[in-house]
Structure 1
Amino acid sequence: MAKPVTLIAGPTASGKSALALELAERDGAWIANADSMQVYADLDVLTARPSPDDLARAPHRLYGHVDAAEPWSVARWLSDIGKVLDEARDAGRPLVIVGGTGLYFRALSGGLSAVPEIPEEIRTRLRAEAAETPSVALHRRLAEVDPPMAARLEPGDTQRILRALEVVKATGRSLAYWQQQQGPVLVGPEAARLVLAPPRPWLHERIARRFRMMVEAGAVEEARCLLARNLDPDLPAMKAIGVRELGPLPADLDGLDHAVEKATTETRRYAKRQETFFRGQLGDWPRLDPADTAAWQRVLRGGA
């Protein structure tokens, strides 16, 4: 009998979505997204979201439901996935949660730090000030109001410094305090867990091939459309790999090969960071080499 919940993590292009789809078809399960970029409606091709054929094979949840102007967060994803877990349970359907954002899985099965929502006016004001203030000066300001967090952060880490300033301004408490207050665990030991751990040469070849396929499927046009919206470049969606590399290309696509190579290199670096996180934070999860066909088939026969 299938587990009620199966968690599949893995680096980009490792084949985790294909495995999730096979398990969903085998067990009559739903599939839910745990990738922080695949939530964005504007990033269909560049994030390799499930194709129409894939969507027809099994019900999918939390894909492409967020506008790129929204700064989605792990807290908002947890709220979404909690509702999907309830819906699947009420419907009597197993759920496969799949993606490459390790923080989502850690929060799902370990609880999220209970940092309160920051009022938009505080966030807007601080970020406007930061645009005219050197990062070192922001770090000095943080040291005055929140010495523990300032000691943790480098003076050049502007985004995290701003986050710490926002929290202490909005709540009167250090971000370090809130990080110690864990929220509820949504998925417990009853869930099956799996991390795809492919050989690096195998993964690199797949990354290169997939990015070329993305270009053929319209990645350049998608990147241009997103840039044409003139959104805040600090928004998460604007930092998706391929947006900055492909979007500025001229109409005749001069320099396409260079841009693709640059984006491919960035994707490989991102995959390495994912693998480091999985080893450090999901170290007790079983590993599966997706290049090992026999091991893949054993998972399908015996359950994840």
Structure 2
Amino acid sequence: MQKTVICLTGPTAAGKSAATHAIAAEWPVEIIVMDSATIYRQMDIGTAKPSAEEQASIPHHLLDIRDPAESYSAAAFVSDAQTLIDAIFKRGNYPLLCGGTLLYYKALREGLSDLPESRPDIRAQLDHEALLQGWPAMHAQLAHVDPVTAARLAPNDSQRIQRALEVYRISGRPLSSWILDAKPAPKGASLHYHTVSLEPSQRQVLHARIAARYQTMIEQGLLGEVDALYERGDLGITMPSIRCVGYRQIWDYLEGSCSLDEAIEKAIIATRQLAKRQLTWLRSDAQREVIDCLDEHRAAKVVQSVSQHWPLT
């Protein structure tokens, strides 16, 4: 019998956490967090990580599994998620993927390509070029050699621009061609994935939520959280952890390159850009079930959607 894994996704600030509680009230779920930021320890406020109480009430997996000095990849997520899905079903529970890192979800469902491994020398060279020219110029360079990848990246998305250029310089092939050659996802588990996507009917309302949420993070102590990372001395802006939206802008403030008000405004703008990219990714999945994240009955609609795939007890 084919087993169904539910994925609850959507752009940042869409209200995914609240919807997971509605699902957990009906089924014995364990949450597999699908997020490239909440994997890091010491990064709680700016990642909107579930509270200790939330983690105690519903099992969460893949939180706090890396130090900010370490890296994590889509391949690592696929391996971890596959192991967890199998174990959760064996325990008689239901695996609920929840998060907005859609590259992880795509890799889990569709498989991975054998991308070239990262090379520190090329990354250092790209960082140096970006320091001289700026990331928008690097984005233009990417558009020349890999227009498909460049079209889905923002001009200041330094981490992804760097990786795409790195792959091209190592292999001579654009990243988009590697993705087309992805290995099919393993079929052994005979899993079906049902995607429930919380998306806004009014983009400006989501933008207001994003701004309000970031201001709340500042009030909760985000500045102190980033300062603690800054004072460690072993972290830097080239690392994926510090490049997380909302962190890198405060890092710039701590380095003296902008005022705190400017950093906050830049972080809000960057988060809006992230939400736009997430929505672009989601629209490529024609089979997802879309629920308006601004609908007051959204939780009930999420439960109704899930009930088509998991039996109510």
Normalised-by-shorter TM-score class: 0.7 to 0.9
Q: Where do residues 196-211 of structure 1 align in structure 2 (5 Å cutoff)?
A: 196-198=198-200, 199-211=202-214
Q: What residue identity is the alignment partner of 2:282? A: F
In structure 1, the residue matched to 2:158 is: none
Which shows bigger deviation, 78-87 or 259-268?
259-268
Judge conservation of contact 2:34–2:105 (CA < 8 Å) in 1: yes
CA distance in 2, matches of 1:129, 1:267: 27
Instruction: Pick closer, same or farther for the CA change 1:290–1:240 going to 2, 3 Å.
Output: same
Percent identity between the two aligned chains: 31
Q: Where do residues 1-304 of structure 1 align in structure 2 (5 Å cutoff)?
A: 4-115=4-115, 118=117, 123-130=119-126, 151-152=145-146, 158-167=162-171, 178-185=178-185, 190-198=192-200, 199-230=202-233, 231-247=235-251, 249=253, 255-279=259-283, 281-301=284-304, 303=306
Q: Which structure 2 segments of 5+ residues have no match?
A: 133-142, 156-160, 308-313
Which shows bigger deviation, 11-20 or 232-241?
232-241
Q: CA RMSD in A?
A: 3.0
CA distance in 2, matches of 1:124, 1:102: 26
Q: What residue identity is the alignment partner of 1:127? A: R
Q: CA deviation at 1:225?
A: 1.6
Secondary structure at 1:293's aligned position in 2? coil
CA distance in 2, matches of 1:61, 1:9: 16
Q: What residue identity is the alignment partner of 2:277? A: R
Judge conservation of contact 1:34–1:100 (CA < 8 Å) in 2: yes
CA distance in 2, matches of 1:89, 1:83: 10
Judge conservation of contact 1:126–1:162 (CA < 8 Å) in 2: yes
CA distance in 2, matches of 1:297, 1:177: 41
CA distance in 2, matches of 1:287, 1:98: 15
In structure 2, the residue matched to 1:142 is: none
Deviation per CA, 1:232-282, whole angstroms, max 9, x where unpaired? 4222111112223224557xxx95444323311221121111111211x22
Judge conservation of contact 1:45–1:217 (CA < 8 Å) in 2: yes
Q: Which structure 1 segments of 5+ residues have no match?
A: 137-148
Instruction: Pick closer, same or farther for the CA change 1:190–1:24 going to 2, 3 Å.
Output: same
CA distance in 2, matches of 1:162, 1:302: 41
CA distance in 1, matches of 2:174, 2:299: 46
Judge conservation of contact 2:32–2:97 (CA < 8 Å) in 1: yes
Which protein shows a greater Rg? Answer: 1
CA distance in 2, matches of 1:179, 1:206: 33
Q: What residue identity is the alignment partner of 1:160? A: A
Judge conservation of contact 1:44–1:64 (CA < 8 Å) in 2: no
Secondary structure at 1:32's aligned position in 2? strand
Instruction: Pick closer, same or farther for the CA change 1:110–1:209 going to 2, 3 Å.
Output: same
Q: What residue identity is the alignment partner of 1:125? A: D
Which shows bigger deviation, 8-17 or 35-44?
35-44
Secondary structure at 1:42's aligned position in 2? coil
Judge conservation of contact 1:25–1:58 (CA < 8 Å) in 2: no
Q: What residue identity is the alignment partner of 1:237? A: S
Deviation per CA, 1:14-66, whole angstroms, max 9, x where unpaired? 00122123212320100111111111113211010101121122000001211
Instruction: Pick closer, same or farther for the CA change 1:179–1:132 going to 2, 3 Å.
Output: same
Which shows bigger deviation, 79-88 or 227-236?
227-236
Q: What residue identity is the alignment partner of 1:242? A: G
Instruction: Pick closer, same or farther for the CA change 1:246–1:268 going to 2, 3 Å.
Output: same
Deviation per CA, 1:73-115, whole angstroms, max 9, x where unpaired? 1111111111111211221210110111111121122222233
CA distance in 2, matches of 1:188, 1:167: 34
**TM-score normalized by the length of structure 1:** 0.79
